[in-house]
């Protein structure tokens, strides 16, 4: 074969590959546009994969406009002659767009790492007499984030509440409190097992089963609706949510997380293309309620509050802070609604007994 024929064949092969596999090629090219003027391109419809054109270029579909012909038949872009008219590689009428495409191989997306907060150990080191050697924290939380619909979540809302899956550990019997205070850690263990299995090649169903088994081992199984948890894990795994998205989704839907705010978690060329929502998640719903109602009473939290969305401040109360709380100033109606119908005075006495048992558990 002559050199000229070889070059022609190679060119035809490259062109054919581009036409047959435009989706794979366009995955390297995207455009991000701040349509609503809020300073980012992380909202619905503000980020898109670019389309391959017949000339081998790229066209941003956001704001794409059909070109118009003048009296001589020449094509012009209604958005301005500085924008070229291009025919899609798949065929069709010529169009133009004012929005540029970004080559992600040359300009990769920069992701902020997820908050890495293991939380306070439920059983820390003790001395020979059984006294705690570390800092005692009552109703401590764990910083975590979930991501709403955006580029990195394949435009699925990983923060969407899926309903109540985890039951409030403080709503059960005192005798099981020592196991129920570890609910949030159990959910963390389960989500890690499910996500690890899924990334290793397991089906969503197999991964969910692995997650459910890990949860059962980690906590009192009466604290969680296992069938609902399995369905939840299958759904969010298929949506492209990660381990922490799953954990927060399960706990916040069960009323155990306090949302602090939103921040940008992924950028390309300085443009935000994915947001995240920072939370403090607690072992019980009652813990979250008492934290929300108790922090405003304490000077120690007046300056820092809940921290920032990117760096949540989720520490628990010290014993001294907890003893200083005025429970008569707290609205615990949300908690009352979750327990069996009894006189409010009985519930308050029962709740005091449970808190005393909680204090005794973490002190031993």
Of 237, 207, 340, 354, the C-alpha closest to 284 is: 354
Q: What is the mean pLDDT of each run of 10 residues along the chain (364 residues)?
A: 39 37 54 94 92 95 96 94 95 95 95 82 65 77 94 90 76 42 80 96 96 82 85 93 94 94 95 96 91 96 95 94 94 77 54 58 52
H or E, element range at 258: strand 257-268
d(CA 126, CA 195): 34
- The DSSP 8-state label assigned to residue 250 in this structure reads H
pLDDT of residue 70: 93
Q: pLDDT by residue (tens digit) across 272-283?
A: 999 999 999 998
Largest CA distance in the chain: 96
Q: pLDDT by residue (tens digit) across 193-249?
A: 999 999 999 999 999 999 999 988 767 777 788 899 999 999 999 998 999 999 999
d(CA 355, CA 85): 70
pLDDT of residue 23: 37
User: Which ranges in the chain belong to alpha helices (H)?
Assistant: 3-20, 22-26, 177-180, 183-199, 204-218, 226-238, 243-253, 285-294, 319-324, 333-336, 344-363
pLDDT of residue 353: 59
Of 221, 227, 285, 228, the C-alpha closest to 252 is: 285
Q: Are 184 and 121 in contact (CB under 8 A)?
A: no
pLDDT of residue 182: 64
Token pair, residue 5, equals 């024929």
Q: How far is CA 128 from the centre of its chain?
A: 42
d(CA 59, CA 52): 6
């Amino acid at each position: 074969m002559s050199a000229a024929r070889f070059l022609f064949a190679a060119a035809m092969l490259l062109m054919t590959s581009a036409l047959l596999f435009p989706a794979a090629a366009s995955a390297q090219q995207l455009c991000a546009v701040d349509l609503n003027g809020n300073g980012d391109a992380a909202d619905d419809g503000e980020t898109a994969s670019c389309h391959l054109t017949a000339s081998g270029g790229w066209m941003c579909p956001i704001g794409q406009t059909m070109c118009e012909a003048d009296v001589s038949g020449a094509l012009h872009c209604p958005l301005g002659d500085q924008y070229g008219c291009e025919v899609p590689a798949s065929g069709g009428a010529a169009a133009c767009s004012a929005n540029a495409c970004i080559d992600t191989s040359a300009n990769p997306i920069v992701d902020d790492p997820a908050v890495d907060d293991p939380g306070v150990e439920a059983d820390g080191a003790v001395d020979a007499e059984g006294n705690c050697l570390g800092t005692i924290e009552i109703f401590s939380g764990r910083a975590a984030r979930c991501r709403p619909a955006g580029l990195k979540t394949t435009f699925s809302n990983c923060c969407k509440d899926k309903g109540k899956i985890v039951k409030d550990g403080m709503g059960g019997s005192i005798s099981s409190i020592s196991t129920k205070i570890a609910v949030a850690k159990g959910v963390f263990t389960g989500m890690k097992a499910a996500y690890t299995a899924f990334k290793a090649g397991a089906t969503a169903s197999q991964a969910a089963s692995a997650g459910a088994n890990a949860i059962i081992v980690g906590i009192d199984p009466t604290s969680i609706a296992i069938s609902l948890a399995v369905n939840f894990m299958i759904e969010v795994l298929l949506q492209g949510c990660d381990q922490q998205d799953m954990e927060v989704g399960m706990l916040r839907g069960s009323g155990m997380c306090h949302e602090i705010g939103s921040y940008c978690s992924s950028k390309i060329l300085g443009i935000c293309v994915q947001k995240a929502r920072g939370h403090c998640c607690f072992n019980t719903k009652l813990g979250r309620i008492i934290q929300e109602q108790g922090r405003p009473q304490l000077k120690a939290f007046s300056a820092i509050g809940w921290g920032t969305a990117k760096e949540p401040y989720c520490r628990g109360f010290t014993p001294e802070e907890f003893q200083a709380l005025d429970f008569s100033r707290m609205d615990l109606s949300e908690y009352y609604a979750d327990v069996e119908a009894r006189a409010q005075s009985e519930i308050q006495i029962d709740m005091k007994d449970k808190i005393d048992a909680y204090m005794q558990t973490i002190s031993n």
